[in-house]
Structure 1
Amino acid sequence: MMCTLRALFLKWKLPVASAWSDVTRSVQAKATFATGPRQHDTTLYEFRTYSIKPSMMNKFMQLTKENFHLRTAHSEMVGYWTYELGGLNKVFHIWKYDSFAHRSAVRSKLAQDKLWQENYISKASPMIDNQENEIAYLVPWCKLQKPEKEGVYEMVSFQFKPGGPAVWGESFQAAISTHVNTGYTKLVGVFNVEYGLLNQVHVLWWNENPDTRAAGRHWAHEDPRVVAAVRESARSLDSQRNLLLIPAPFSPLK
């Protein structure tokens, strides 16, 4: 490509250095339209949500508790929760994979695991009405945190206007950092969706109980630092959804 351009410059009798400088500036200008930083960490997280038949919820959770060690023998589970508020008769779990190749290998092994298929999948499948999954990455400025004690979790899902982190990333990071710095709640992780609804970010928070969460939220609504940061981030926001999640007894995140 460089040789072809050089030949054209010579044919048109253009100064090569000057013309190439113009091309470089053009490429640099286009780079300002990038939608976000390059993803260097290949670690990915799969979010899975299952809707359970209402009459089967207790039976499903008991079956899962008794047999989920068969599943975690194949790959790392970050956490497993039931919906408390924001939905009913649903379970939500997060799985960690080193890469897409790692996920594919795990899925292949699960399909061949007779104990998993016979003891769990064949019995659990009739209890499930619907399944959804997403693939997400931790944002570059966040590390996954593990709370020191048991509590409840809140997942807040933000749907931003199209354009990627280049458009809303800086103000959103500022809003999250302000919430963290005030100490009204504790951050577990911030996940940018790769497969699912694009321009969506899931933020997982920890609170000691629903009442401490409610108190912290009321304080945040009156804190000028939080109000200013949220107001700026909201300029790029289309919608927001909040879920209150209760960790299962076998969940690594309690």
Structure 2
Amino acid sequence: MTREKAVASAQAYFDSGAFREDLARRVRMPTESQNPDRAPVLVDYIETEIKPALVAIGFTCRTLFERDWPFLFAERIEDPKQTTVLGYGHGDVIRGLDDGWEEGLSPWQLIERHGLPIAFRRRGDVADVLPALRRHLDRNGFQGVQIAQAGDEVFYATRLDPEHPWVRWAVDSISRTTGKKPAILPNLGGSLPNDVFSDILQLPTIWVPHSYPGCSQHAPNEHLPLSIAREGLELMAGLYWDLGEPGVPASQSAGKERLSVD
């Protein structure tokens, strides 16, 4: 097996229709993790879909439970001296919202069709949201309106230096696979709890999105263009291959530096 063959295998998986078949079968399973009634479906999803797929490529698997909720732990050790790769996956993070989908569409059916929040730039923006709103209300005569932060559920924006070794490594890998230079966005807005990794665990983080801005992710009518799905399989096959090759950046802290962008 070579890198080229690994990427070609990912392409063939898509082109043969096997990817669509697997995806359609899994989409039909309503794995709503917010719905207590779906716990048995999540167990079935793990036991009949995910676990067999992992066992087939050499993983040892066991299912853990927190009350009725399943958690699949899978492990494969090729060489203890090699780089550790930790991956995770999940069922649907929201309910299906069936009533919000367009006529003829369903969150539990893969249909192929042909056709053409507040984002923070840096942590300082978060701190000034309530004061700025207070000033706006006061200027417009709404001094009697009270506002308060609901809790500590803020996902802080994070930033990794575009010249960080892991960024350069990922760019080189993706460019090699696709023949295209990827766009680099150094800031990740507060749409994900990325600060858990970058600030608390002090890990450099890189997100490789396999979608586009109009995909309606986590909402009714969520969809994915075929070309992006195929390319995502290709570039991830290349990334995983390169993680096992010499030249992987040494482990290091992302640091706590934050750059202000005006």
Please indicate, yes or no, whether the TM-score normalized by the shorter chain is above 0.5.
no
Higher RCO (Cα < 8 Å, 6 or more apart): 1
Please state which structure has a larger fraction of its residues in strand: 1
Per the normalisation by structure 2, the TM-score is: 0.30
Please state which structure has a larger fraction of its residues in helix: 1
Per the normalisation by structure 1, the TM-score is: 0.31
Q: Larger Rg: 1 or 2? A: 1
